[in-house]
Structure 1
Amino acid sequence: MLDIQDDLERVSAERNGQVTRNIQEAKNRRLVALGWAGGLGEFNQAIQSLRTASYIVIASTSGCRNHELANVMIGAHHSTEDDEGTVYHWLRSTSEKTDAGIHDWMIPESTVSAVRLMERWAAPYQAMIADEITRRHSINPTDPQITEAHKHRHALFLGVSATKNNLVRTLSGSTWNKNLKAFARSCGLSWNLASHQFRRKFANYAAHSQFGDLRYLREHFAHWSMDMTLGYAMDQEWGQHLDIELFEDIQFELEDIKSGVVSGWLGTSSLGGGYGRSIKQWQRDPKNLAIFKSHASMVKSIAESTSIRSNGHSWCTADDDGCVGNTMERTRCGGCDSSVIGVQHAGVYQGLFNNLKGLLDCKDIGEGGRQRVLRDLDRCRNVLEQLEFEPETADE
């Protein structure tokens, strides 16, 4: 699409000075020649949708506010590398929310791609601003609008403003909200999408990543210390201006999620895993419960003092995620002193149990393989029994 856009810009340049209708007709002919059958109006709409899609990607994966995205300029991306060779990508912008000014946000490679796309997307609009500056300067070098135009000269999220005499300017928040709602409708969604939703969602996803739900965030935020030390992968300039408010938002979401998980542990449902059984045993002693002035204070205390993350088949409360039970040998969690397994995990263990039973019919796994299968069957059976399920009949 951007190749086509560049081609259409050349068409305009070749017909500079002709009437608008002739230029549009020439562009439509060129679109047909390039295989675009929808006409110029549809192509222009697709180009605007490309801008909105890029905005959604960048907003969803950076945690930037709308005005911070408006302040993203050419050259906003930079990368650093730590001592282990891990590359971190950063997006730089200016925040008007606090006095800090410049901020750096960690971003994934997909966001880098969206930023690169927008740098190319915005080039024709930036050229229009450059032409405006040249024109104003030739008429009146002291025109205050020259300074205003310079503010937008290198911005990425640009558009033609009908309310400002069709000048090219950075899109406003209200315009973005209209665009986002229209984009959602074009995707067949009823979501009342708005620019303010992305930062909160990002914080929520980042908090969930502490539980292993998102692989990208789990990798990148594994180095984020929630006590705000954050001293890794920095050079002399980039990565030093972090958005502390975003970290606080993530911390709030994380605390809320952890409290919800612990509240479920202290309910009436059975728990498996070594730590899960310990919780239930501890909970049965009235003296332990009397320590806390309320159920809410008990939940809060345990949530704050316990490291919790999800590996998909249990909650792991170990201080690190180095155990093979999180990856290679997941049935090990059933007997681990750091695991908590809830009824929501029962389907995972029942599925494993059923599949393992099928492996016993394999004649080529050898005695060692058979013993491994029998061991893992026992582990799954024990977990299901701890959760008060009958593994032998649950699939009937």
Structure 2
Amino acid sequence: MRGPSAPVSDDWLDAYVSSGSRFRDDVWELDIHTAGRRAFHKILRWPSALPTDSQISKEQHQQLIRAAKQYLWSLSTDPPPGRRRPSAPTLQAHGQLVQTIIAWMATEGLSAFRLLTPSVVGQLVAWLRARPGAGTRGTLKPTTVGFYLNVINTMYLQRAKLEDSPMVNPVPGSSTSGLAGVCKRTAARIPFIPDPVAVDLLSKALDWVENHSATIIAAIDLAERTYRTAAAEGWKESWTRTIVNRALAAADIPGADGVPLTQTVTVRRAGNHLTAACFALIAGLVGMRASEILSMQVDAVELMPIGETGLSQAYVVARLFKTSQDPRGSLERWIAPQPVVSAIDCLARLAAVLRADTKGVDLFIVKDGFGAPIEVMTNHLITWRLQQFAEAVDTVPHEGRTWEFSSHQFRKTFARFIARGDRTQLLALADHFKHASVAMTSRGYVGTDFELHQLINEESRNETAWALDRILASESLGGRMGERIAAGNHGFRGRAGEEVRRDYVDFVLAETDLHIRGCDYGWCVFQPEVAVCGGEIAPNEALRSPSACSSCPNLVVEPRHAGYWQERRTRNQALWERASPLARASLAETIGECDRMLRRIQEVEGV
């Protein structure tokens, strides 16, 4: 059965799916240039053999594969209205999904896609939900099940262009995500790294890069040179390793923990941890995607003057793939704080040692042993190394458990940090924001990365909702805005006010443009018309300070901020005791600010 306007010839089989492969080929070598993919990640192989428990003939199996190829051809040449033509990585992903569907169909005796009726699709969903995966019960996540259903639904939408496709809406009266069970609870959004964990990991990563990279790279260099010399002298592989270990033992080069790096295995492990530390700093302090970071090459840092100030700002130059029209990615720049510049320099030195006399410009490279070829680093590998590094440096636990890192989490964490407006919480970010603020506003930190702008806006809304809920429920608030809220929020407090408070927060987010921006000494319920700092769309970071905010009608301080005000008071009291009479007047005013704030937020809490 054909669709009403299905192709009448097989010309589509000779069309090119890539520069070197046609749709009729059983091996597609796709033009995928996204960083972090090796050669085998760019190939899609179509099975020639039947599944072992197949209930259809080989000819029927090949007809299914032909239909799948035609479906992908239709997406490439004439996608459904409103959809863009898929990129090579997307085409490969669709191909892998449809291959899994074909394998299931073969075992169920389904010889054509037109047999995928709603009831049959329901059986497929049940099978997919039971497959092993990374869900909460070790099965596929609902979002992954939704990807499979989206392939079937898209095939239905393309039915007029295909010889074989579902002819009845496979998800009538529903959506693919709804049928897959995707909801807020199961959406499996990428989490941000909790603040204490992020602080700990980035601080230790910075320590590795600044204080231990030189000795680690020296040990790797010694091992590589010794191996090459031994190999050139004709020593067998088993002996070369012994010779390298003896050289390392004699050199007695200390590792990050102070223990000498005397074995090839410990040297290689230290190099892996150093690479992960560099990635964490770049991802955590710049907010780039993993593919963008892995695309970085030698000389990735570019200095640009800041107006006529005589100063310069460092930028990371890398390739943006996801939103680029160029399949090879477009060159973009991201502002780079000094820790990131140090990390890139560290990677360049490490890569030069690993390459020796071979050519290459990539910074994130892998060498799986002496004499092994240089490979590009994959996203999966860098995620594994991040976890190994976190375990090696013993990062602080979260809720009693070791945090499971992934490369994507750093981007979300960066966005949340920007959205919160807290410029002082992460030790490794303090220098970054102080330097960058000379050049641009908060929205300028991410350059032309518009998707990150959207992510920041989403996190800003989440932060506003969370802060507003806390403020409305609190009995003890300081700051001019805080005192006003505490005087009239009785109906929002306690368990009785939970539902009212939740409804009010939803109303505020939906009907107003209110933004609450945090810092370590309070919340700014931002209203530009009365902001002492003079900010127009957000607090002015250049003029924002505890003293300025104390007199601002926008400030709210709650008991969780007491530590900052107590520490500020102690610090200024120590200065007052040894200051001149003239300076004491100013310090006494600051101490008074702290006393008034602490007295207000401790009135009800009794702390």
Give the alignment's TM-score, normalised by structure 2: 0.49
Correspondence 1:27 to 2:27: no
Amino acid at match of 1:105: W
User: Which residue does 2:560 correspond to in 1?
Assistant: 344
Q: Counterparts of 1:363 and 1:31 in 2: how far apart (Å)?
A: 54
User: Which residue does 1:68 correspond to in 2?
Assistant: 292
Correspondence 1:9 to 2:233: no
Distance 1:66 1:128, change over 3 A: farther
After superposition, residues 20-99 of structure 1 pair within 5 angstroms as 20-36=237-253, 37=260, 38-83=262-307, 84-99=309-324
Q: Counterparts of 1:348 and 1:314 in 2: how far apart (Å)?
A: 9
After superposition, residues 277-288 of structure 1 pair within 5 angstroms as 277-280=483-486
Instruction: State whether residues 314 and 339 of structure 1, in contact with CA within 8 Å, keep that contact through their aligned partners in structure 2.
Output: yes
SS in 1 for 2:473: coil
Correspondence 1:315 to 2:532: no
User: Equivalent of 2:349, from 107, 110, 120?
Assistant: 120
Instruction: State whether residues 335 and 436 of structure 2, in contact with CA within 8 Å, keep that contact through their aligned partners in structure 1.
Output: no
Distance 1:302 1:279, change over 3 A: farther
Correspondence 1:258 to 2:258: no
SS in 1 for 2:404: coil
Alpha-carbon offset, residue 168 of structure 1:
1.9
SS in 2 for 1:90: strand
After superposition, residues 65-214 of structure 1 pair within 5 angstroms as 65-83=289-307, 84-99=309-324, 101-102=329-330, 103-127=332-356, 130=359, 153-160=360-367, 166-189=372-395, 190-210=402-422, 212-214=424-426
| Identity between Structure 1 and Structure 2 (%) | 21
Amino acid at match of 1:177: T
Q: Counterparts of 2:274 and 2:478 in 1: how far apart (Å)?
A: 48
Alpha-carbon offset, residue 172 of structure 1:
1.6
Q: Structure 1: any 5+ residue segments left out of the alignment? A: 131-152, 233-238, 286-291
Aligned positions, number: 347
Instruction: State whether residues 255 and 303 of structure 1, in contact with CA within 8 Å, keep that contact through their aligned partners in structure 2.
Output: no
SS in 2 for 1:79: strand
The one-character-per-residue Cα deviations of 1:6-62 (angstroms, maximum 9, x if unpaired) are 333332343315122333233222212211453222222222222222222222222
Coordinate RMSD, CA, aligned: 4.0
Alpha-carbon offset, residue 73 of structure 1:
0.9
Amino acid at match of 1:387: I
Alpha-carbon offset, residue 265 of structure 1:
2.5
Distance 1:48 1:369, change over 3 A: closer
Q: Counterparts of 1:195 and 1:380 in 2: how far apart (Å)?
A: 41
User: Which residue does 2:163 correspond to in 1?
Assistant: none
Amino acid at match of 1:197: Q
SS in 1 for 2:313: strand
Distance 1:269 1:86, change over 3 A: farther
Q: Structure 2: any 5+ residue segments left out of the alignment? A: 1-215, 254-259, 396-401, 492-500
Distance 1:304 1:212, change over 3 A: farther
User: 1 or 2 for the larger relative contact order (CA 8 Å, sep ≥6)?
Assistant: 1
Q: Counterparts of 2:244 and 2:364 in 1: how far apart (Å)?
A: 24
Q: Counterparts of 2:287 and 2:571 in 1: how far apart (Å)?
A: 41
Alpha-carbon offset, residue 91 of structure 1:
1.1
